[in-house]
Amino acid sequence: MTALDTPQTAPAQPASGEPAGRRRRLPTARTVLPPLAALVIMICLWQLAIVVFGIPGYMLPSPTTMVDTVLHEAGSILTPTWVTLRESVLGFLVAGLVGVVSALVMGRWRLMERSLYPYLILLQTVPIVAVAPLFVVWLGPGMATNSMVAAMIALFPVAANTLQGLKSVDRNLVQLYTMAGAPARVQLLFLRLPGALPEILTGLRVAAGASVIGAIVGEFVAGVGGGDGGLGYVITESAVQLRTPQLFLAVLGASVVSLLFFAVVVAAEKLLIGKWHESALPADE
């Protein structure tokens, strides 16, 4: 029997008959039911604690009160949510750009890494509440200050993760580029940077939530600044006036903004590395 007569084995197909490359992870009962069950249990415990311990509404509103507040006052939270969203977006973009560029500079020149990285660590350890009043003095109250506070909080995870990704590229590939005569800048832009995409996106996921926190902290300190207040202003005002349902509603709005940011970064991650990186491929069950 010749090689041409040897029967060829067809690639194995999934049990469903659908090609493996076209299979998609769809939500199943195992992924949907546990968080829904946990939510129902928490709401029941919440209501039970109010009834058993007689907790007044100004300390902890009941789930029914929160549902009524969402239905009747959700419109009042839209403008503050939009203000905080704009501040968070600007801070996130500044942190992403400065973080990636600074990591590229530190990854290209070791002297720059030894010079700049300690100050990135210092930036992460400085209490933001203590520094925010300086931004008010320099930039005035309002969107600029709040966005800079958001960028300050979100900068370190982007820069640190990007630098770690640049330094974690396979040494064999680096040696291959070196043997081919590729200069250091070519290695950085065409080998290390694409290889660092998973770490960069991880840093951006962390920065997505951190930028919202920074914007709200900035609103605590910087105030309104002559315009419409954001969620931080609503939270402060509601806490002073003991309007706890409105405070909870503002916290819910901040959570929605953070989830929106996270969803955008996850979508970008699927678009950029979803077809080739092992971390984004579905695991075999």
Confidence of residue 138 (pLDDT cuts 50, 70, 90): confident
Would you state the pLDDT for residue 276?
63
- 17: region left, alpha or beta (phi > 0 left; psi from -120 to 50 alpha): left
Is residue 159 helix, strand or coil? helix
User: Which residue, among 95, 105, 92, 210, has the nearest Cα to 163 in the 3D structure?
Assistant: 105
Lowest mean pLDDT segment, chosen from 13-27, 61-75, 129-143, 215-229: 13-27
Q: What is the pLDDT of residues 58-92, one digit of tens each?
A: 888 888 888 888 888 878 888 888 989 999 999 99
| 215: number of Cβ within 10 Å | 35
Greater confidence (281 vs 40) lies with: 40
What does the pLDDT average to over 230-243?
86
The C-alpha atoms of residue 234 and residue 223 are separated, in whole angstroms, by 10
Would you state the pLDDT for residue 95?
94
Which amino acid is located at 65 in the chain?
A: T
Under CATH, domain 99-280 is a member of which superfamily? MetI-like (1.10.3720.10)
State yes or no: pLDDT of 263 exceeds 80: yes
What does the pLDDT average to over 164-176?
83
Percentage with pLDDT > 70 across the chain:
84
Would you state the pLDDT for residue 154?
92
Confidence of residue 171 (pLDDT cuts 50, 70, 90): confident
What does the pLDDT average to over 204-210?
91
| Whole-prediction pTM | 0.79
Confidence of residue 21 (pLDDT cuts 50, 70, 90): very low
State yes or no: pLDDT of 179 exceeds 90: no
Would you state the pLDDT for residue 7?
47
Domain borders along the chain are: 99-280
Compute φ and ψ for 8, nearest 5 degrees: -90, 135
State yes or no: pLDDT of 16 exceeds 80: no
Confidence of residue 10 (pLDDT cuts 50, 70, 90): very low
User: Which residue, among 147, 12, 164, has the nearest Cα to 90 in the 3D structure?
Assistant: 147
109-148 in b/e burial notation, b at 16+ Cβ within 10 A?
eeeebeebbeebeeeeeeebeeebeebbeebebbbbbbbb
Mean residue pLDDT across the chain: 81
In the DSSP assignment, the letter for residue 142 is S
